[in-house]
Amino acid sequence: MTASPPPPMPRSRRSAGDRRTQLVQIGLELLPTTPIQELTIDAVAARAGISRSLLFHYFATKREYYTAVTRAAAEFMLEHLLPPPGAPQEDQVPGMLDRYVGWVEAFRESHLAFVRGAGGGDPWVAEVYEETRQRLVEVALTALQLPDDAPRRQLVLAWFAFAEDLVGSWADEPTLTREELLALLRDVLDRLVLRGR
Amino acid sequence: MTASPPPPMPRSRRSAGDRRTQLVQIGLELLPTTPIQELTIDAVAARAGISRSLLFHYFATKREYYTAVTRAAAEFMLEHLLPPPGAPQEDQVPGMLDRYVGWVEAFRESHLAFVRGAGGGDPWVAEVYEETRQRLVEVALTALQLPDDAPRRQLVLAWFAFAEDLVGSWADEPTLTREELLALLRDVLDRLVLRGR
DNA sequence: CGGCTTGCTGAGCAACGCTCAACAAGCTAC
DNA sequence: GTAGCTTGTTGAGCGTTGCTCAGCAAGCCG
């Protein structure tokens, strides 16, 4: 069953950095198919062609490993979403929204795995997820030139939950055109955020 | 550590139904403190004063056990939220919303555990959660006397995500009065749902 | 008392997270 | 070239946990 997929591997020696990134990379590859918590150390090690022990050399605990993987996934997504340096103010939020929808369309399963995994019991993973959301809110509020106070932050965070859910189900069953979806999301955000004005 | 809390128990013999409900009950009690997936069979069995094996007699697998617990939690919440038989049409949605906020205020941790656990990797638990949301949407749409078509359903579901998130963070840090919160939620729902009219 | 159903247990297996002592690949120094 | 150091790497093994199975025993009937 769990036979030897990498048998001809002459078992080379790698630098510490290389191994770490290789292991995280493997985690990212496995993430779409496996709920991150159920990722077994054995499977990852086997796929990397190394012993279980070595993985524990790099990541003291299983949790430490998959939070590293989660963090890498989050970083990857953020890089994709954040507006490019020269983008004009008023295009930043629409741009991010557009790229977000594109992201979900492209990486549907992986993204779901990330979002789902976020809620999934483990506080460390949830924390990474929360950090990501917070950073996105900050960017959005500055782009909209709005003060970053607690009430507005709550609203925008909740709107994120709204957008995440809607885009997710829309990707499954597109009841709107892509443009209608984007317009709807923007509209709801505007109304929410301009409320106290 | 995991010593014997029920030592004077003369280990009585119970009916099948009794045991089942007792075990589910224990699960419900442990749910607020422990992410449901991490609930160990040993702990539950110990708390019930029975052997591991017996638990597997009633629930063939661990998953089967905690989905039963999750389902019980969902049922409990639904009973609390659904409008009483005689409620007038136009009060039903506001009433449910009001009770929902009350629910979160009262059972903050348990509820979070339920919602979080829902996303948490396990498809079976997610399914129970999804069923619950679907039922609530049905009730809401009939109460609002609106047709139950796919687009509207998606919108209301997404609005749920919005409400869940907002009420959750509001309970942590009430930046609005309770009435303002309720009004906001109702207003957003109305605008969303009347969109296509 | 014998026999039946059925709630219940203990021993034990396999998988998995994790530890630890030791090996060996690749480098530098003499 | 070989001695010696660093450090990437491993195998054996322990404790926990999900799960199985053969069999015990509590209550009931004839």
Distance A80 CA to C21 C1' (A): 46
What's the CATH fold of domain B16-64?
Answer: Arc Repressor Mutant, subunit A (1.10.10)
Residue A121 pLDDT: 67
Residue A78 neighbours by CB distance under 10 Å: 14
Instruction: Please give the average per-residue pLDDT across B40-44, as a whole number.
Output: 96
Instruction: Please give the average per-residue pLDDT across B74-101, as a whole number.
Output: 94
> In the block, which residue shows the tokens 């629409």?
A94
Are A99 and A80 in contact by the 8 Å Cβ rule? The answer is yes
Q: Which of A118, A154, A169 is the closest to B170 by Cβ?
A: A154
Largest CA-CA distance found in chain B, in angstroms, rounded:
66
Instruction: Tell me which residue of A70, A167, A163, A173 sits closest to A124, measured CA to CA.
Output: A70
Which residue type, as a one-letter code, is found at position A26? I
pLDDT band, very low/low/confident/very high, at B4 (cuts 50, 70, 90): very low
The encoded tokens of residue A165 equal 């859910």
Residue A114 pLDDT: 74
Residue B100 neighbours by CB distance under 10 Å: 21
Determine the Cα–Cα distance for residues A151 and A13; give it in Å rounded to an integer. Answer: 53
Residue B7 pLDDT: 38
Chain B residue nearest residue A156, CA to CA:
B166
Name the closest nucleotide to A56, judged by C1' and CA: C18
> In the block, which residue shows the tokens 């993430």?
A31
Whether A122 has its CB under 8 Å from any CB of chain B: the answer is yes
**pLDDT > 90 in chain A, percent:** 73
Can you say whether the dihedral through the CA atoms of A116, A117, A122, A123 is positive or negative? negative
Instruction: Tell me which residue of A112, A66, A87, A102 sits closest to B120, measured CA to CA.
Output: A112
Q: Give 3-state DSSP helix, strand, coil % of chain B, rounded to 5.
A: 75, 0, 25
Which residue type, as a one-letter code, is found at position A83? P
Are B88 and B49 in contact by the 8 Å Cβ rule? The answer is no
The encoded tokens of residue A78 equal 């953020």
Cβ-count burial of A122 within 10 angstroms (0-12 exposed, 13-18 middle, 19+ buried)? buried
> Which distant-in-sequence residues (6+ apart) come within 8 Å of B40 by Cβ?
none
Determine the Cα–Cα distance for residues A186 and B153; give it in Å rounded to an integer. Answer: 20
What is the tens place of the pLDDT at every residue in B110-151? 787 777 666 666 788 889 999 999 999 999 999 999 999 999
Q: Which of A116, A119, A162 is the closest to B162 by Cβ?
A: A162
Residue B118 pLDDT: 66
Judge: A120–B115 Cβ closer than 8 Å, yes or no: no
Per-residue b or e along B147-181, where b marks 16 or more CB atoms closer than 10 Å to that residue's CB: eeeeebbbbbbbbbbbbbbbbbbbbeeebeeeeeb
Residue A114 neighbours by CB distance under 10 Å: 23
Residue A11 pLDDT: 56
φ, ψ for residue B12 (rounded to 5)? -85, 165
Residue A4 pLDDT: 32
Instruction: Please give the average per-residue pLDDT across B60-77, as a whole number.
Output: 94
Are A158 and B166 in contact by the 8 Å Cβ rule? The answer is yes
Chain A residue nearest residue B120, CA to CA:
A120
Of A69-73, A145-149, A182-186, B119-123, which range is least confident?
Answer: B119-123
> What is chain B's mean pLDDT, rounded?
88
For residue A196, pLDDT beyond 80? no
What is the tens place of the pLDDT at every residue in A73-131? 999 999 999 999 999 999 999 999 999 999 999 988 778 777 776 666 678 888 999 99
Name the closest nucleotide to B58, judged by C1' and CA: C7
Nearest C-alpha of chain A: how many angstroms from B161?
A: 5
> Which distant-in-sequence residues (6+ apart) come within 8 Å of B80 by Cβ?
B99, B103
Residue B14 pLDDT: 83
φ, ψ for residue B138 (rounded to 5)? -55, -50
Instruction: Please give the average per-residue pLDDT across B9-37, as a whole number.
Output: 84
**Domain spans in chain B, listed from the N-terminal domain onward:** 16-64, 71-193
Are A26 and A44 in contact by the 8 Å Cβ rule? The answer is yes
Q: Which 8-state DSSP code applies to residue A37?
A: G
Residue A8 pLDDT: 36
Exposure of B103 in the CB half-sphere (CA atoms within 13 A): 22
The encoded tokens of residue B14 equal 């119970």
Selected residue of B152, B154, B190 to mutate for chain A interface (largest A Cβ count, 10 A): B154
Selected residue of A188, A190, A193, A195 to mutate for chain B interface (largest B Cβ count, 10 A): A188
Which residue type, as a one-letter code, is found at position B19? R
**pLDDT > 70 in chain A, percent:** 90
Residue B121 pLDDT: 67
Residue B159 pLDDT: 98
